[in-house]
């Protein structure tokens, strides 16, 4: 995912954000519902165990991305949507893990949900608003440093 994040075209990503969201939600919810149902009703696992097991099925990775990049089709719209969908599924799977861990520790109450909600809003705000500013500043600074080191030496 790190490699995909470095190579993804953010303008294409912004154009396809709704498609990525729909793809990510469908590829998370369908395996989540099926996995929870099968493990709960067929294997008689407890509900938290079933949900946790299903969340493993619901998340996916970009294991083939290096090959896709090597073939030169990383700029394809489908690849862009898939990368966005993978970010959605992995984030949702981590949220499910956080809730299950909180449930097993007996900490799921109003304070837990409030803290989780504030953390999500804060994290999302930092990623959406602060990171682009820091990246622009860093890249401008690095370009200046790079030019002074390599061009004038």
Tell me, yes or no, whether 144 lies in a domain.
no
Q: Which helix (H) or strand (E) holds 96?
A: helix 77-104
pLDDT averaged over consecutive 10-residue blocks of the chain (153 residues)? 74 88 95 96 95 92 86 87 91 93 89 94 91 85 72 60
Tell me, yes or no, whether 122 lies in a domain.
no
CA distance 72 to 138: 28
Contact partners, residue 62, CB within 8 Å, separation at least 6: 1, 4, 82, 83, 86
Tell me, yes or no, whether 11 lies in a domain.
yes
Tell me, yes or no, whether 47 lies in a domain.
yes
Tell me, yes or no, whether 134 lies in a domain.
no
Question: Model's pTM, two decimal places?
Answer: 0.80
Tell me, yes or no, whether 23 lies in a domain.
yes
Tell me, yes or no, whether 28 lies in a domain.
yes
Domain total for the chain? 1
Between CA 63 and CA 69, with CA 68 as vertex, the angle to 5 degrees is 105
pLDDT at 152 (0 to 100): 60
CA distance 108 to 36: 20
Domain region containing 103: 2-108
């Amino acid at each position: 995912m790190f490699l995909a994040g470095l190579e993804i075209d953010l303008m294409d990503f912004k154009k396809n954000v709704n498609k990525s969201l729909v793809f990510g939600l469908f590829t998370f919810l369908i395996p989540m519902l099926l996995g929870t149902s099968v493990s709960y009703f067929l294997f008689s696992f407890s509900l938290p165990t079933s949900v946790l097991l299903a969340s493993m099925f619901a998340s996916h990775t970009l294991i083939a991305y290096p090959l896709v990049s090597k073939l030169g089709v990383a700029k394809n719209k489908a690849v862009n949507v898939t990368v966005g969908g993978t970010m959605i599924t992995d984030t949702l799977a981590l949220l499910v893990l956080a809730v299950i861990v909180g449930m097993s520790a007996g900490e799921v109450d109003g304070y837990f949900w409030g803290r989780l909600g504030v953390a999500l809003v804060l994290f999302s705000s930092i990623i959406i608003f602060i990171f682009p500013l820091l990246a622009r500043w860093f890249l401008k600074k690095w370009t200046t440093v790079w030019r002074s080191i390599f061009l004038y030496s």
